[in-house]
Amino acid sequence: MFYLVCLILLVMVLISVGFFTLIERKILSYIQLRKGPSKVGYMGLLQPFSDGISLFISEDLLPMNSNFIIYMVCPMLGLVYSLICWVLMPIYFNFIEFNYGLLFFLCFCGVGVYFMIICGWSSNSVYSMIGSMRGVSQAISYEVSLSFFLIIYFIFCDSYSFMNLFICQSSSWFMFISFPMFFCWVSCCLAETNRSPYDFSEGESELVSGFNIEYGGGLFAFLFISEYSSIIFICLITCLLYMGGNFFCLFFYIKVILLCFLFIWVRASIPRYRYDKLMYLAWKCYLPLSLNYFYFFIFMKMMIIYHFFLLS
């Protein structure tokens, strides 16, 4: 039963990635006053399958001076990494429920930067190496604030489990407790997933697609799927962390879809940041804010414990 649930979850994630690309192209086209994909299937619904088939059957061009084995294996490992993260999805029955889901999530966020820099290094290209260095420095910078934002609520719930975090919001969402921190979290998620306006590891105008410039065909499709599955997973974690609700309710998944729409809307609306402003935002704005919230929540937790022992 466990393997069947894993297989169903894997298939659903891959299908959702395909249709997420379709809805992104549709929304961007309507914002830019054009039609978008509309030829393949009814209203373009079969466009993701057409794009996937064309990518996987196209020829892979291998750089002559690349580290061949690492160059080939790294995109596949990146896809496996992005799909393993989905075991944190809190399903009550017939599945794993992590008691230390926070530590698992933080470890996997830290490991993710290795695939980016190894892809750039194994291509043995100046442009891919510069793109990977920019992307890794950006991801590491925003992971610090992202980790503090996560730890704050787990301290508040006195547990490392995402399930308990989910249950704690049965009466009130955490988004209403700390509204400014919610926007900081969304901004950090945009930077962590390399989305506009923080897509500096894939800045087409100055880096020509960044760390994955030498990849094409099926290998590029693996990197593409891993990036978009990470976006959907981050939207799911955001709903768990800030919006609570019943996991088996349709309204929960509507919230996930609305957050995915927010990612697309930001891409269509906001121009790309300068890189120095990006780093200033991470180290001079988000990090002090997350530390202040961290100290405040620890102080509140200590006061609650003190009053509990005082009354007992």
Predicted confidence (pLDDT) per residue in 178-202, tens digit: 888 888 999 999 988 888 888 877 6
Q: How many domains does the chain have?
A: 1
In a domain, 181, yes or no: yes
Work out the average pLDDT over 220-243. Answer: 88
In a domain, 13, yes or no: no
Q: Which among 137, 116, 278, 272 has a CA at the least distance from the CA of 196? A: 272
List the helix and strand counts (H, then E) for the chain.
13, 0
Domain that holds residue 237: 74-311
In a domain, 92, yes or no: yes
Residue 94's pLDDT is 43
Residue 202's pLDDT is 66
Over 60: is that where the pLDDT of 204 sits?
Answer: no
Q: Return d(Cα 116, Cα 139) in angstroms, integer.
A: 10
Residue 244, burial from CB neighbour count under 10 angstroms (0-12, 13-18, 19+): buried
User: Angle, to 10 degrees, between the axis of helix 101-122 and the axis of helix 68-84?
Assistant: 160
In a domain, 183, yes or no: yes
Amino acid at 24: E
Work out the average pLDDT over 280-290. Answer: 90
In a domain, 102, yes or no: yes
In a domain, 139, yes or no: yes
The DSSP-derived string for 176-197 is HH-HHHHHHHHHHHHHHTT-TT
Work out the average pLDDT over 68-73. Answer: 88
In a domain, 282, yes or no: yes
Q: Count of CB atoms within 10 A of residue 12's CB?
A: 11
In a domain, 36, yes or no: no
The single-letter DSSP state of residue 214 is T
Q: Return d(Cα 152, Cα 296) in angstroms, integer.
A: 9
Residue 59: both structure tokens together: 């020829």
Residue 247's pLDDT is 67
pLDDT digits (tens, 9 = 90+) for 256-278: 899 999 999 998 898 888 888 88
Q: Nearest 5°: phi and psi at 95?
A: -155, 170
pLDDT mean across residues, the chain? 84
| HEC sequence for 45-88 | CCHHHHHHHHHHHCCCCCCCCCCHHHHHHHHHHHHHHHHHHHHH
Over 70: is that where the pLDDT of 207 sits?
Answer: no
Whether the full predicted model's pTM is greater than 0.85, yes or no, is yes
Residue 246's pLDDT is 67
